[in-house]
Amino acid sequence: MSWTDERIERLKAMWNEGKTASTIAEELGGVSRNAVIGKAHRLGLDSRPSPVKPGEEKSAAAEPAAAAPAPAPVQTAKPIAPEPTRVRERPAIAAALEAAAPMPPATPAEAAPAPAAASAPAAPTMQYRSIGPGGFVRQGPGEQQAPIPPAPPRRLVPAKPSAEVADKTSLLDLNDRVCKWPIGHPGEPDFHFCGQQANPGFPYCVQHCGVAYQAQLPRRDRRPPPPLPFGGPRVR
């Protein structure tokens, strides 16, 4: 498996959400945890709180150190708060949410506001929304849907071009500017892709990014994932 642009974008998004390398590897499929970590580092993604201190190595590091005791002003920086569990959300986002400032759209230029017009019953009650790394609005915990949208192939017979699909976004219409969110199932006559303008840097439009990249819930509040309609992502 190679690192296509889309796979790299998915890696970035999941990494920024605090997913573990193992999880990311499993979701991407075809790569190991190590591959994910290696790629993340090569991409220059933010480091995570590592269990291994970069301070000293096992090798005695026979630092001469004799000269200049270097009264290093003892770095008191304690970057990682005593959070026993994993990082679930980026602190900046959490802080923003807690601040509860009405927060006008901080995103510059209101990326792709157009597609939102037709939908969104405009919740009358003020709600705090979690903003994803690409500026999309995450779904709240209450409205999260089971993460099963990309349906697996059901048959190998490709859909024949027909009037039904004439104006839909087909596989051949995909490029990095359109939303690749699948509608329906591969093989079915009306299977197509969302086709909206993609959120820059993501494979999906703003709406579908909100579905694809959801804030993680604490484990205990997490519903066990619904049974997958097929064997599951595990390749072994």
Partner DNA sequence: CCCTGATTCGC
Partner DNA sequence: GCGAATCAGG
Closest distance of CB 8 from DNA, Å: 8
38 near DNA, rule: CB under 7 A: yes
Length of the chain: 236
52 near DNA, rule: CB under 7 A: yes
- Kindly give the interhelix angle for 21-28 and 5-16, rounded to the nearest 10 degrees: 150
Using the contact rule CB under 7 A, the part of the chain among 35-43, 89-97, 98-106, 154-162 near DNA is: 35-43
Question: Counting Cβ atoms within 10 Å, is residue 31 exposed (0-12), middle (13-18) or buried (19+)?
Answer: buried
Of the candidates 10, 13, 17, 21, which one interacts with DNA according to CB under 7 A? 21
114 near DNA, rule: CB under 7 A: no
Using the contact rule CB under 7 A, the part of the chain among 19-27, 99-107, 146-154, 162-170 near DNA is: 19-27
29 near DNA, rule: CB under 7 A: no
The secondary structure of residue 7, as a DSSP letter, is H
Q: Which of 47, 52, 51, 15 is nearest to 31 (CA)?
A: 15
5 near DNA, rule: CB under 7 A: no
Question: Phi then psi for 11, rounded to 5 degrees?
Answer: -60, -50
Write the DSSP string, 48-60.
---SS-SS--SS-
79 near DNA, rule: CB under 7 A: no
82 near DNA, rule: CB under 7 A: no
Using the contact rule CB under 7 A, the part of the chain among 53-61, 66-74, 111-119, 156-164 near DNA is: 53-61
Residues 6+ apart with CB under 8 A from 161: 170
Residues forming the site for DNA (CB under 7 A):
1-3, 20-23, 31-35, 37-42, 47-54, 57-58
